[in-house]
Amino acid sequence: MNSSIYLGFDGGATKTDVIALDSRKEVAAEETGKPANFQIIGIEQTSSNLLEVTRSLLEKLNADFSCVKAMCLALAGAGRKDDAEKLHRGFVTLLEEKKYPVPQIRIESDAVAALEGAFGGEPGMILIGGTGSILFAKDVEGEIHRVGGWGRFIGDEGSGYVLGRSCLAAIAREFDGRGKKTVMTQLLREKTKIGNSESLIKEVYQNNFDISSAATIVIEAAEKTDGVAVGIISENIDELMLHISAMLGKLAEPLPLVLTGGLLSSDNFFSRGFRRKLREKYPEIEIREALFSPVMGAAFLAFKLGELAR
């Protein structure tokens, strides 16, 4: 294969998906490789994993590195400029050490690639509600805007982590006698064997309990009309409404919205409540399904980069 290839990567903590587009912007091949979250495994290992999956994909195409005109590495944790520059230098250094030609390379966060894929490159907003939360928008001028994404220590309202933390805090208050009784306490006991203050402290502070996993307990309790759980969900839905309000202040006009991440994309008490509140408060915002996957969004960005470099 001697034609031009444009590679899009969607890399996270568990795996990396890659798509190759040909010169007609059609999918030529797909591959999956090892993780590429450099915040967890470091830049050197991430670069090595990215190169490994690239080689594997090129073998499928019977092509070599000289065919690769552009790459977009859309990776978890790559949203900060300094981090992106460090990763760029690390990956380019590895390519040069291995005597591979260095194509045009763009580093982006996985959220930006998801936004690009969701609307096929057109303007729109994407709200991600999973373990964390963040809202991105691409306006009619092509400018990217961001609200949220401050991480679990100072932000991530409306995320699995914050729901889970609020769940455990409510249970701790019940154990102390300074909070209302809640169905969440019984559900936590049934699912994890945590039944008193001592076991709760031990699991959270010694055994690295997955706090975001407790989000499912909040949702299940809310389905059972537990007042404390309903209050937690209502509070976090209101926080996401503030995200939307802040984003609309940055845009010249309302844009369609795609919801993604486990909390918002699945049918549950939280997502239904969010959609209902959005319709009530912002009826002008249309909720849509994503047109393409995040990795396809990264491939589109790679193609655009390659075309601009011509």
Structure tokens at 144: 């990217």
Residue pair 255/137 in contact by the 8 Å Cβ criterion: yes
Interval 26-66: pLDDT, tens: 999 999 999 888 878 888 999 999 999 999 999 999 998 99
Q: How far is CA 140 from CA 108, 222, 223, 294, in A?
A: 20, 39, 40, 20
**DSSP class of residue 286?**
P
Residue 132's pLDDT is 85
pLDDT average, residue stretch 282-305: 94
Helix or strand run (H / E) with residue 138: strand 133-138
5 strand-pairing partners = 68
Residue 90: φ, ψ to 5°: -65, -45
Domain check: are 66 and 82 in the same one?
A: yes
**DSSP class of residue 193?**
-
Domain check: are 97 and 55 in the same one?
A: yes
Pairing of β 104-109 and β 68-75: parallel
Residue 2's pLDDT is 55
Residue 310's pLDDT is 64
Task: With a cut of 90, say whether residue 12 has pLDDT above it.
Answer: no
CB atoms within 10 A of CB 171: 25
- d(C-alpha 302, C-alpha 297), whole Å: 9
pLDDT average, residue stretch 230-241: 97
Residue 150's pLDDT is 85
Q: Could you tell me which of 191, 185, 183 has the C-alpha nearest to residue 269?
A: 183
Task: With a cut of 90, say whether residue 219 has pLDDT above it.
Answer: yes
**DSSP class of residue 285?**
P
Residue 88's pLDDT is 93
Q: Could you tell me which of 178, 161, 121 has the C-alpha nearest to residue 144?
A: 121
CATH number at residue 9: 3.30.420.40
Task: With a cut of 70, say whether residue 309 has pLDDT above it.
Answer: no
pLDDT average, residue stretch 89-109: 93
Pairing of β 133-138 and β 124-129: antiparallel
Confidence of residue 1 (pLDDT cuts 50, 70, 90): low
Domain range enclosing 26: 5-120+292-308
Total domains present in the chain: 2
Residue 160's pLDDT is 92
Residue 261's pLDDT is 86
pLDDT average, residue stretch 162-183: 96
Domain check: are 276 and 304 in the same one?
A: no
Domain check: are 129 and 229 in the same one?
A: yes
Q: What distance, in Å, lies between the first and last C-alpha atoms of the chain?
A: 20
**Left if phi > 0, otherwise alpha if psi is -120 to 50, otherwise beta: which for 151?**
left
Q: How far is CA 138 from the centre of its chain?
A: 16
Task: With a cut of 80, say whether residue 79 has pLDDT above it.
Answer: no
Domain check: are 92 and 217 in the same one?
A: no
Interval 169-179: pLDDT, tens: 999 999 999 99
Domain check: are 227 and 141 in the same one?
A: yes
